[in-house]
Structure formats: structure tokens, C-alpha cells
């Protein structure tokens, strides 16, 4: 097997997996490499969104939000709205988080993470039954979620 050392998407994915492993520094190293080899706005949008996720792990929520905004501006994908929702959620702005989660689910009903965070917010608001109903959609996929 020959490794393609200039494949931006490979670094992008590895960055994401390091984020899932809660190693934001290593994630950002890989995202730097992804950016170096990035040739398209689409990949750039994914890099920004993944950087935002790594920044949330580092606790720099304002940078994360700025990056999520940039990703959405480039490409309004369900997963990017979910990234921004996570920023709002961690900032305590649950109303804006819910708006983005709703948008995310509308754009892609398979975006399980959106259900997960929506359930979290509804639970915080005391709507336990609705929260449990949403959680049923994501049973078995908990490892995907950072918070």
C-alpha cells in the first residue's frame, strides 16, 4: 500500500478521529496538514468545522463559533449546523443551539448527533419524555458524541 502524503481528506479524517479520541492538539496538527494540501472550498469547509470541534475540546468556544460560522458560510451542511449548535450549547445559548439542531435535522434526518444534543437540551429544560424519545434514535452510537 502506498501512502499519499498530500491527500488533504486523509489528514482531515485523521484529524476528526483524533478529536473523537479527545486529542485536540493532534487533531489540529492533522488539520494544519489538511489545510496545506486542501484544494477546494468544500474540503476547506470541512477543515473549519473540524477545527471548531477541536477548539471546543480546548475550551476556546469563541474561536470554535467563528470557525463554525465560516464553515456554514462556505457550505450550509447539516453537520456544520450541528458543529455550531455544539458551540452554542457549550456557551449556554440553548435557544440558538436548538435552532441550528432543527436546521441540521431538516437538512439531514440521518444526522444522529443533532438528535443527541437536542435531547440533552430538552432534558436540561425538564422535557424528559421527549429527550428519551430522541435518545432512542442514537442508541449504540454514543461514541460519536463529544459532549
Binding region for another protein (CB under 8 A): 1-2, 4, 7, 9-10, 13-14, 16-18, 20-21, 39-43, 45, 74-75, 77-78, 107-108, 110, 112, 141, 143-144
Q: How far is the CB of 136 from another protein (least distance, A)?
A: 13
Q: How far is the CB of 13 from another protein (least distance, A)?
A: 6
Beta carbons within 10 angstroms of residue 94's beta carbon: 18
In degrees, to the nearest 5, what angle opens at C-alpha 139 toward C-alphas 136 and 140? Answer: 170
Which residue, 62 or 106, is less far from another protein as judged by CB?
A: 106
Which residue, 57 or 61, is less far from another protein as judged by CB?
A: 57
Which residue, 91 or 138, is less far from another protein as judged by CB?
A: 138
Which residue, 16 or 88, is less far from another protein as judged by CB?
A: 16
Residue that the C-alpha cell 435557544 belongs to: 95
Secondary structure of 73-94 as H, E, C letters: HHCCCHHHHHHHHHHHHHHCCH
What's the rounded Cα separation, in Å, for the pair 132 and 147? 17
Amino acid at each position: 500500500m502506498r501512502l499519499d502524503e498530500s491527500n488533504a481528506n486523509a489528514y482531515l479524517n485523521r484529524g476528526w478521529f483524533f478529536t473523537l479520541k479527545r486529542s485536540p492538539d493532534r487533531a489540529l496538527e492533522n488539520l494544519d496538514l489538511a489545510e496545506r494540501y486542501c484544494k477546494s472550498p468544500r474540503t476547506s469547509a470541512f477543515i473549519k468545522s473540524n477545527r471548531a470541534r477541536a477548539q471546543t475540546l480546548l475550551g476556546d468556544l469563541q474561536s470554535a463559533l467563528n470557525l463554525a460560522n465560516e464553515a456554514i458560510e462556505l457550505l450550509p451542511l447539516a453537520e456544520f449546523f450541528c458543529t455550531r449548535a455544539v458551540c452554542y450549547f457549550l456557551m449556554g445559548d440553548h435557544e440558538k443551539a436548538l435552532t441550528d439542531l432543527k436546521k441540521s435535522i431538516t437538512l439531514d434526518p440521518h444526522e444522529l448527533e443533532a438528535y443527541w444534543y437536542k435531547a440533552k437540551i430538552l432534558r436540561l429544560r425538564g422535557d424528559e419524555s421527549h429527550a428519551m424519545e430522541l435518545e432512542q434514535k442514537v442508541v449504540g452510537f454514543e461514541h460519536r458524541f463529544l459532549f
